[in-house]
């Protein structure tokens, strides 16, 4: 039995895909939300129009959860630590797969690092890569990265979580997978800002390219493999989120470029991550000009025209 903690769009989409091969339980924090999903057989709040297969049970109670279960944590990174503390007695010793992307603002840690810190006896992994919830829920194909420090556990998870529309590639480079999936959100905010401000497709392409260079610079400095950043969890997800309005981070950046207020009810991992990355880069003396500018735009310390002037007036150098 696979448990998915988190009844948002992505958690629901993963459940729909995994239900092709067996029973899945979705846990919702809100009992009313769980009841509504169970009654209508649809996540009307987060993924409307997509029916839930009969193999999916929705609950707000973790009473059936045991250490023998694989638990997918589809919980925003900034809320992950609190959820793990709250349900520590149920999750201790289980196999926990983070399905969130970001860096914790208060500590600078990624999802697997948070799991290892709060629940050191759990077996931790991360599932990430180019994946929009709507695509997965409608059984459209994609490929993802499954990163686990223990390759034997990673191989077992790869077999368990692969579905007809989800092809999983595994790696032991957890740091690379965490950072690739987190840093691409920052660049997606930047690309949304570029398009929202009407700066053009050429500017977006330039930002993606130079942003990817920044991603690699930070990741390798923190112990990741450059090869991981060039894979699905880094470059693959970067391409997806920097070019589509389906990306919440892109839409958030687009609103900045347009000078509009973004819906505060929508989770935007890239906002907190940009601030966290700026702090890490400063502490590590890393040159991250695009990230710094995006963080300043998010904090309303710069206007878009000022941000572009800062980037374009930097000293010329070799690529």
Q: What are the pLDDT digits (tens) for 240-284?
A: 999 999 999 999 999 999 999 999 989 999 999 999 999 999 999
> What confidence tier does 203 reach under pLDDT thresholds 50, 70, 90?
very high
pLDDT bracket for residue 101 (50, 70, 90): very high
Model confidence at 147, pLDDT cuts 50, 70, 90, reads: very high
232 and 284 in a common domain: yes
Position 31 in a domain: yes
Same domain for 156 and 187: no
Please check whether residue 317 lies inside any domain of the structure: no
Q: Is the pTM of this model over 0.85?
A: yes
- Summarize pLDDT for 6-37 with one digit per residue, the tens: 999 999 999 999 999 999 999 999 999 999 99
Domain span including residue 278: 176-312
In a domain, 82, yes or no: yes
Q: Indicate whether 219 belongs to any domain.
A: yes
Specify whether 141 is located in the same domain as 33.
Answer: yes
The CATH number given to whatever domain includes residue 255 is: 1.10.1040.10
Q: Are residues 19 and 143 in the same domain?
A: yes
Give yes or no: residues 267 and 125 share one domain.
Answer: no
Same domain? 257 vs 204: yes
- CA 229 – CA 218 distance, rounded (Å): 10
In a domain, 319, yes or no: no
Pairwise CA distance, residues 75 & 96, whole Å:
12
Residues 190, 45 share a domain:
no
At a CB cut-off of 8 Å and minimum separation 6, what does 126 contact? 97, 98, 99, 110, 111, 112, 145, 146, 147, 148, 174, 177, 178, 181
Where do we find the tokens 């070019």?
Answer: 243
pLDDT in tens, 73-90: 999 999 999 999 999 999
Dihedral angle sign, alpha carbons of residues 117, 119, 121, 122: negative
Asked if 215 and 190 count as a contact pair (C-beta separation under 8 A), the reply is no
Q: E strand or H helix at 276, and its extent?
A: helix 269-284
Are 271 and 234 members of one domain?
A: yes
Q: Is residue 298 part of a domain?
A: yes
Question: Is residue 290 a part of any domain in this protein?
Answer: yes
Q: Among the three residues 172, 202, 233, which one is the final residue of a domain in this structure?
A: 172
Catalytic residue of the set 90, 109, 184, 317: 184
Domain count, the chain: 2
Res 265: pLDDT: 87
Q: Is 184 a catalytic residue?
A: yes
My answer on whether 258 and 212 are in the same domain is yes
- Boundary-marking domain end, from 150, 172, 194: 172
Q: Which tokens belong to 287?
A: 């040159």
**Same-domain status, 295 and 205:** yes
The structure tokens listed for 192 are 């949304």
Of 128, 153, 172, which residue sits at a domain end?
172
Same domain, residue pair 119 and 183? no
């Amino acid at each position: 039995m696979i448990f998915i903690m988190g009844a948002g769009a992505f958690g629901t989409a993963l459940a729909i895909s995994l239900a092709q091969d067996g029973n899945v339980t979705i846990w919702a924090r809100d009992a009313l939300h769980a009841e509504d999903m169970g009654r209508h057989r649809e996540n009307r709040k987060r993924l409307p129009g997509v029916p839930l297969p009969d193999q999916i049970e929705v609950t707000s109670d973790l009473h059936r959860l045991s250490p023998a279960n694989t638990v997918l944590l589809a919980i925003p990174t900034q809320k992950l630590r609190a959820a793990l503390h709250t349900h520590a007695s149920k999750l201790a010793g289980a196999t926990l797969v983070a399905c969130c992307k970001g860096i914790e603002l208060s500590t600078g840690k990624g999802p697997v690092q948070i799991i290892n810190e709060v629940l050191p006896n759990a077996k931790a992994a991360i599932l990430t890569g180019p994946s929009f919830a709507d695509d997965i829920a409608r059984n459209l194909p994609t490929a993802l990265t499954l990163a686990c420090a223990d390759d034997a556990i990673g191989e077992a998870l790869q077999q368990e979580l692969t579905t007809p529309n989800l092809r999983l590639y595994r790696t032991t480079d957890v740091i690379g997978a965490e950072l690739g999936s987190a840093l691409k959100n920052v660049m997606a905010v930047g690309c949304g800002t570029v398009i929202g401000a009407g700066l053009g497709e050429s500017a977006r392409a330039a930002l993606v390219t130079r942003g990817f260079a920044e991603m690699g610079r930070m990741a390798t400095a923190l112990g990741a493999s450059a090869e991981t950043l060039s894979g699905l969890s880094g470059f693959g997800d970067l391409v997806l989120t920097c070019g589509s309005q389906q990306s919440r981070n892109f839409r958030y950046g687009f609103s900045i470029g347009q000078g509009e207020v973004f819906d505060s009810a929508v989770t935007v991992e890239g906002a907190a991550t940009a601030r966290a990355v700026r702090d890490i880069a400063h502490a590590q003396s890393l040159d991250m000009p695009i990230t710094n500018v995006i963080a300043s735009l998010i904090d309303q310390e710069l206007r878009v025209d000022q941000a572009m002037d800062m980037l374009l007036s930097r000293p010329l150098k070799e690529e």
